[in-house]
């Protein structure tokens, strides 16, 4: 009897292990059917708050007839410069797609249409600042537009790469614009005004072609200057016949000319004048402040003065902004460059 009970116990134990094995095998098959477990999800990061949508910009329609004012629906934004007016442009035959400035219907002159607004003349001496080198460094040019008073005029390089945004910002801020001409400087070729420079050794036809190239680089300027990235075109300007051709072309197109050579005589043909003081040579804080004091003295003695800064370096922009902020307290008024030139004759061309 004892032996029979022992065999029965082993039988029960075997059937039990067989059941366990069947369960394990079935579970493995089922897990294989389900596939591998998905990896655990990372904890959700806290979502950043959505930015508040900015209000839609008010469309501005620029009107050319009134310098210094821009129509914007029922608003009037003071200080902005008129956008380029198709009536003051004509196509270039030398550079397809390029547009040249011209005197418009009724004798409208670019030098008036794109001039910045100036305060009425009063007893205070008037000072204008022309800042060159605009367009060669986007960061420095943008800083100049943002930080300097609107009355500061800007000379934009024809070599500027896609200057449209800078020009748009400058006009919106109220800065009038001049075109910087690449004229042969005194120390050429050590100082190089670029591969489109007007040179004393060029044929007249080549210089005229290069002048037209510069004039088509952008639109909406009151005139031109020989101040290009710290150079001043002395050697070309001293060649009376060559420079006379340039001035006649500018005058015929209703543009003014600013001679960047301190103390040079007024342009004999085009509307314009020369600068009185170069502010940033050298571009050192103490020297800049000394030159600004000289500029004030010239304005005090003559009633008006024009200063030139060749390049928008940070130290120059900082000193100009600080100086301009206290200018009125010292009895002077800051005006755009166009306010210091003689008015053009009725036919739009200055005569000798």
* Distances, alpha carbon 336 to alpha carbons 136, 317, 343, in Å: 22, 17, 14
Q: Which residue has the tokens 């002395």?
A: 234
Q: Residues of 292-312 as b/e, b for ≥16 C-beta within 10 angstroms?
A: bebbbebbeeeebbbbbbbbb
- SS3 state of residue 2: helix
Residue 79: what pLDDT?
79
DSSP letters along 137-155, please?
SHHHHHHHHHHS-TTSEEE
Neighbouring-strand partners of residue 90: 100
In a domain, 187, yes or no: yes
- Does residue 171 sit within a domain? yes
Helices (H) and strands (E) in the chain, counts: 9, 13
Let me know if residue 26 belongs to a domain.
no
Pairing type for strands 99-101 and 89-91 reads antiparallel
Helix (H, G, I), strand (E, B) or coil at 75: strand
CA 81, CA 87: separation in Å to the nearest integer? 16
Contacts of 102 (CB under 8 A, 6+ apart): 88, 89, 90, 110, 253, 254
Q: Does 225 reside within a domain?
A: yes
Contact 87, 135 (CB under 8 A): no
Which phi and psi angles does 38 have, rounded to 5°? -70, 140
Give the separation between CA 177 and CA 170, rounded to whole angstroms: 8
For residue 63, tell me if it sits in a domain.
no
- Position 19 scores a pLDDT of 56
- Dihedrals φ, ψ of 76, to 5°? -130, 120
Whether residue 61 lies inside any domain: the answer is no
41 located within any domain: no
- The answer to whether residue 349 sits within a structural domain is no
| Distance, CA of 63 to CA of 35 (rounded, Å) | 71
User: Within 13 Å, how many C-alpha atoms sit on residue 16's CB side?
Assistant: 6
Q: What is the CATH number of the domain that holds 92?
A: 3.20.20.370
Q: Give yes or no for a contact between 166 and 135, defined as CB atoms under 8 angstroms apart.
A: yes
Range of the domain at 98: 69-340
Q: Cβ(314)–Cβ(287) under 8 Å?
A: no
Quote the number of domains for the chain.
1
Contact, 268 vs 247, CB < 8 A? yes
Which residue in the block uniquely carries the two structure tokens 């394990």?
24
**249-265 per-residue burial string, b: 16 or more CB within 10 A, e: under 16:** bbbebbbbbbbbbbebe
pTM (two decimals): 0.77
Q: Tens place of pLDDT for every residue, the chain, 352 residues?
A: 444 444 455 454 545 555 545 554 554 444 444 444 434 433 333 333 333 333 333 333 333 333 333 333 222 345 799 999 999 999 999 999 999 999 999 999 999 999 999 999 999 999 999 999 999 999 999 999 999 999 999 999 999 999 999 999 999 999 999 999 999 999 999 999 999 999 999 999 999 999 999 999 999 999 999 999 999 999 999 999 999 999 999 999 999 999 999 999 999 999 999 999 999 999 999 999 999 999 999 999 999 999 999 999 999 999 999 999 999 999 999 999 999 996 544 444 443 3
């Amino acid at each position: 009897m004892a032996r029979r009970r022992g065999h029965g116990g082993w039988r029960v134990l075997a059937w039990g292990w067989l059941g366990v094995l069947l369960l394990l095998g079935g579970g493995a098959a089922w897990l294989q059917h389900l596939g591998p477990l998905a990896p655990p999800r990372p904890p959700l990061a806290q979502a950043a708050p959505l930015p508040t949508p900015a209000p839609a910009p008010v469309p501005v329609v620029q009107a050319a007839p009134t310098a210094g004012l821009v129509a914007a629906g029922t608003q009037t934004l003071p200080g902005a410069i008129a956008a380029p007016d198709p009536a003051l442009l004509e196509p270039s035959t030398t550079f397809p797609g390029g547009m040249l400035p011209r005197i418009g219907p009724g004798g409208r002159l670019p030098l008036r249409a794109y001039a910045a607004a100036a305060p009425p003349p009063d007893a205070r001496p008037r000072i204008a600042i022309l800042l060159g080198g605009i367009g060669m460094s986007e960061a420095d040019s943008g800083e100049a537009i943002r930080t300097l008073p609107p009355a500061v005029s800007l000379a934009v390089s024809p070599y500027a790469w896609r200057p449209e945004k800078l020009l748009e910002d400058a006009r919106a801020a109220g800065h009038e614009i001049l075109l910087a001409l690449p004229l042969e400087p005194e120390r050429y070729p050590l100082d190089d005004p670029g591969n489109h420079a007007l040179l004393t050794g060029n044929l007249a036809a080549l210089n005229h072609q290069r002048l037209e190239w510069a004039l088509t680089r952008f639109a909406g300027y009151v005139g031109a200057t020989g101040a290009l990235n710290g150079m001043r075109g002395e050697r070309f300007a001293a060649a009376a016949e060559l420079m006379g051709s340039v001035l006649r072309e500018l005058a015929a197109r209703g543009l003014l000319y600013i001679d960047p050579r301190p103390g040079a005589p007024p342009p004999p043909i085009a509307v314009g004048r020369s600068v009185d003081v170069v502010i940033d040579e050298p571009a050192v804080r103490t020297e800049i402040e000394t030159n600004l004091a000289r500029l004030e003295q010239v304005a005090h003695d003559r009633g008006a003065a024009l200063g030139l800064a060749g390049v928008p370096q940070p130290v120059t922009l900082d000193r100009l902004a600080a100086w301009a902020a206290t200018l009125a307290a010292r009895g002077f008024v800051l005006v755009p460059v166009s306010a210091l030139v003689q008015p053009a004759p009725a036919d739009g061309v200055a005569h000798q």
